[in-house]
Copies of this chain bind each other. A is one copy, B any other.
Amino acid sequence: MAAMACTSAASTALSTPRLAAVKPARSARPVHLTSAFHGQSVASVSQVAGFESSGVKYRSAGRRAVVVCKAADGQTVVIGLAADSGCGKSTFMRRLTSVFGGAASPPKGGNPDSNTLISDTTTVICLDDYHSLDRYGRKEKAVTALDPKANNFDLMYEQVKALKEGKSVEKPIYNHVTGLLDAPETIHPPKILVIEGLHPMFDERVRELLDFSIYLDISDDVKFAWKIQRDMAERGHSLESIKASIAARKPDFDAYIDPQKQYADVVIQVLPTQLIPDDNEGKVLRVRMVMKEGVPFFEPVYLFDEGSTISWIPCGRKLTCSYPGIKFFYGPDTYYGNEVSVLEMDGQFDKLDELIYVESHLSNISTKFYGEITQQMLKHADFPGSNNGTGLFQTICGLKIRSVYERILANQKNAATLQSAKA
């Protein structure tokens, strides 16, 4: 019975007992990949990346027998989260993990600079780990981290595919402190694998593996305000250097990152408020959740009347809010040629009353009990964005991911039961 739900790729290894923990041979010395590229043309970079990929394939093939067969608990559900750096991905990930209960932490006893976060249900891997060029290599080649040439999509695809098929992988670690590639760490197939970073939807093969995908789309105005907050106030950078750094990234961002929006099941757009005329503080935000229609196991959230167009100012006779208040919008739209539903929140919550009032008027939010969103938001009231649409929609995305996961699982079980009944 347990074998019924095993993936076909793993079926050749069914007789092999499951190895609970495959300890990789760790290299103590960081791998400096750029040394291989000296004097080569740009075109050959991908060949080298392919070589690296093959190397991993080889290692992977060497351990084919040590396959993890996921049985009754179903296959790994893969979630993609695309966003630029400094856009609140880590907060998003913490909110998401929290929905499943339990805290997320880096792999125990491993590289302290690992970017991976593991909890009972989820494993979040950072796609920076698939950089094929480290900081020095990128400098030498004059390519940004946004450039596909600095990333190994073959390896990304193989490893995500392996994890989805229930096999552990040896994933490289990009060390954000040193800017080098550290020795790989073992990733075991979790219930939910989140791949977050710059390019989760760039490569068609990787994209095909995603069960659900989200794109965090921060408008230039807000990005600028946030960068100033972080890089100027906290890191002492100058306004000019921040402007220059944003400008330098923009061409590659527009060429390689931004187009992924079209593939996302949900795009969270963060924009300046429209409630305060000519606001340039960037503190009050207008956040839009663009939800694709017709995605398996996912029903877009709606306000009052599914499929119609609604604007709603909840603050009024029953709910009082301080200036500038809160305004919602909901309606159907098209986005990159796809039919979508848009839910928008402008403004921010001042009090718990406002949050629960809003939650109680939203439908299809995939909560398990009344007030679950409010409870989650309060639990992490100290996280950035807890009083506005970023926190609200991140939390809703967390609930939606849980729902997608549970429905895929239920679907697999039903299919297994059906197959077993036929047999």
Contacts and interface: CB of A to CB of B under 8 A. Distances in A.
Interface stretch (A74-82, A163-171, A192-200, A304-312): A304-312
A313 B332 CA distance: 11
Contacts of A309: 312-313, 316
A318 interface: yes
A64 to B, nearest CB: 48
Contacts of A304: 304-305, 310, 312, 361
Contacts of A315: 308
Interface in A273-311: 304-311
Contacts of A316: 307-309, 331-332
A314 interface: yes
Contact of A312 (B308, B314, B317, B318): B308
B317 A306 contact: yes
A319 B312 CA distance: 20
B306 A318 contact: yes
A8 to B, nearest CB: 38
Contacts of A312: 304-305, 308-310
Interface string A236-274: 000000000000000000000000000000000000000
Interface of A: 304-319, 331-332, 361
Given A306-B317, A307-B317, A307-B318, 12 more contacts: A304-B312, A304-B361, A305-B312, A305-B361, A306-B318, A308-B313, A308-B316, A308-B319, A310-B311, A310-B313, A311-B311, A316-B332
Nearest 5 interchain pairs by C-beta? A307-B317, A309-B313, A304-B304, A308-B316, A307-B318
